[in-house]
Structure 1
Amino acid sequence: MSDVILSNRQSGRVKRAAALVRKKDRRAQGRFLVEGPQAVREALVHAPQLVEVVYATDEAQPWQLELDRLADREGVELVRATADVVAAMTETVTPQGVVAVVADCRVPVAEACAGGRLVAILHEVRDPGNAGAVLRAADAAGADAVVFAGDSVDPLHPKVVRSTTGSLFHLPVASAPALEDAVLAAREAGLAVVAADVGGAELAASREEQGLAEATAWVFGNEARGLSAKALAHVDRSVRLPIFGRAESLNLATAASVLLYESAFAQRSR
C-alpha cells in the first residue's frame, strides 16, 4: 500500500471506477463495483483472484485493519483515498468509505447449474433490491446457483451487489439471454423446473407429495406481473404460496425465501 493518498476526483482511475455504475461501461471494462466493508471483505475472502483494487478512505474505521490484512495477504492493491474521492466512485447517498473494482464474476449458465440440487432463476426481475435480496436468500438456503434470465436486472448493478451484502461471492451467478436458455441448462443438469405462480398447486400438496425434495430450479417472475403464460409453458409445474391473512400479495424476495427454504428443508430431510 502506497503512502500517497488519492485526492483528485478527476483522476483517470477515479473516472474509470465511477463509470462502472453504468451497465455499458461494466460490459466494456469487464468489471464492476463492490461497495461497503462487508461486501468487499467477502470478495477478498471468497474471490480474491477477481479483486483488482480496493479504495479505502483515509479516515480510521473499525474495518480498516481487517481489509488491510486481507488485501495484503491476497496481494491486492489497496489505495488510500479521501472520503470525497471514494464517494465520487459511487452513487450511494451515504458511502461507507470503501469500494473495490472487481472482475466480472459470472459463470456460464450451464456451469452454474451443473451438479446443483437447488437453483433460483430470476425471470424479468427488474428491481435491484429485490434481485439482491433473492440472491442473498438463495445463499442462506444453501442454493447452488442463481441465474438472471431474460430482461432481469444486471446482477452486477451496484444496487444488486450492495443488497447481497457479499452473497454474490458465495455461489455461482449466471446470466442467461432468455428464460429458455436457463430452463434448458437446468434440465440438462437434471433439475425439475418449478415456477412460483399464483395459479399453481398449493404448496402443501407439493410438500405432501415430497415433490420439493427433488433437485429443483425455482423460477421467479416479475415483481408486478409474475410469469406470463409463455414463460409458464417452459416449466414442469407451478406452485402457489398460500396467503392465510388479508395481505394482497407477498413481496417477491419474501416469497422466494420461503420457497427456497421449503426445498432446502425437504432436500435435507431425505
Structure 2
Amino acid sequence: MTTEPNAAPGLPASVLRSVRRLTQRRGRDLTGMFLAEGRQAVREALGSPGRVQEIIVDDAVRHADLLDGLELPVWQADEHQMRQLSDTVTPQGVVAVCRQLDFDWESLDGARLVVICAQVRDPGNAGTVIRCADAFGADAVILTSGSVEIYNPKTVRSTVGSIFHLPILTGVTLAEAVERVKGLGMTVLAADGEGDPLDLKAASGGLSGPIAWIMGNEAWGLPADDARLADEVVAVPMWGQAESLNLSSAAAVCLYATASAQRRETGKGSN
C-alpha cells in the first residue's frame, strides 16, 4: 500500500533531527546511513532494492512520479526545513535517506576496467570520476585511504545517481589496491603527464586487456613512489595550448579510450 506524505508541510521535530544528523560525517558513521539529494539521485536510489529508508519532499504533487506506489515513509517538509537538509544554495526539493553501500573484493571478480583514486580529496572530482566510470562501463571504483568520504553530500550529488550503479570500495591503501587488482590479472596504468602517450598505447593494443587506472590527487598528482606501483605510466596527449587537464577530465579520456579498446577487442562495438 502506498505510504501517503504527512498532510501538512513540516517535518516532526524528531524526524528533522534524525535526518539532519546525516548532513555531518559523524552522524553518517554512527547510523550507517546517508542522504541522496535531487530527483535523479533519488530515482537511482529507488532502483537499488532496499536502499532507501524514507523520503523527504517539499511538494508531494511535484514529485508524484517518484512517490507513486512507494511503500516507505514519505515526509513533506517546509522550505526552511529543506534548507537544513541541503548544502546547496537552492535545495532540489527531494531527499532520500539511504543505507550505506557495502562491497568487498569479491565484487571485483571478473572485472576488466577499474579506477583507483589515490587520495582524491575534492568531493566534486571524486563524484565526477565515479560518474565517468559508470558512463564508460567500468566495473568498480576504489577510493584509497586519504580520499574524500564517499558519502559527503557534494560527492553523492556529483555522481548524479551513479553511486548506486557500481561497486565502490574505500579505506584501503594504494599498495593494497594495486596488489589486489594485479591478483585479478589486471594491468595497472598510472595516469601522469610524464608517461607514454595514451593514443600510442591504444594503437598498440595495450588497452584491450583488463586495466586498472590509478588517478592521482588534484593538487600534487601522483608521487613517484606511487607511480612505481603501476606497470606503466601513461599520459593524455594534448595538442593545444592548455597547461593540463583536471582530474575528472583526464579520467574521462582514459576511461573512454580503454572502454573503446576493450569493446573493439570483444566485438561489442557501440550501443
- Residue of structure 2 equivalent to 1:140: 135
CA apart distance, 1:6: 5.3
- Residue of structure 2 equivalent to 1:76: 72
Amino acid at match of 2:154: K
How far apart, in 1, do the equivalents of 2:185 and 2:74 lie? 43
After TM superposition, list the pairs within 5 Å mapping 1:116-131 onto structure 2: 116-131=111-126
How far apart, in 1, do the equivalents of 2:11 and 2:200 lie? 61
CA apart distance, 1:28: 1.1
Over aligned residue pairs, what C-alpha RMSD do you find? Answer: 1.6
CA apart distance, 1:201: 1.1
After TM superposition, list the pairs within 5 Å mapping 1:89-238 onto structure 2: 89-108=85-104, 110-238=105-233
Q: 1:27 to 1:18 in 2, by over 3 A?
A: same
| Greater mean deviation of Cα atoms: 137-146 or 199-208 | 199-208
Does the 8 Å contact 1:117/1:144 carry over to 2? Answer: yes
Amino acid at match of 1:146: V
How far apart, in 2, do the equivalents of 1:98 and 1:83 lie? 11
- Residue of structure 2 equivalent to 1:30: 32
TM-score by length of 1: 0.92
- Residue of structure 2 equivalent to 1:266: 261
CA apart distance, 1:205: 2.4
CA apart distance, 1:60: 3.7
| % identical equivalent positions | 41
How many pairs were matched up?
A: 262
Pairing partner for 1:13 from 12, 15, 33? 15
Question: Which structure has greater helix proportion?
Answer: 1
Tell me the alpha carbon deviations over residues 208-236 of structure 1, each in whole angstroms, 9 at most, x when there is no partner.
22110110111100012111112112111
| Greater mean deviation of Cα atoms: 153-162 or 169-178 | 169-178
CA apart distance, 1:107: 1.1
Task: Point out where structure 1 has 5 or more consecutive residues left out of the alignment.
Answer: none
Following TM superposition, where does structure 1 have runs of at least 4 consecutive aligned residues deviating by more than 6 angstroms?
none
How far apart, in 2, do the equivalents of 1:34 and 1:246 lie? 39
CA apart distance, 1:179: 0.8
Does the 8 Å contact 1:107/1:174 carry over to 2? Answer: yes
Does the 8 Å contact 2:202/2:258 carry over to 1? Answer: no
TM-score by length of 2: 0.92
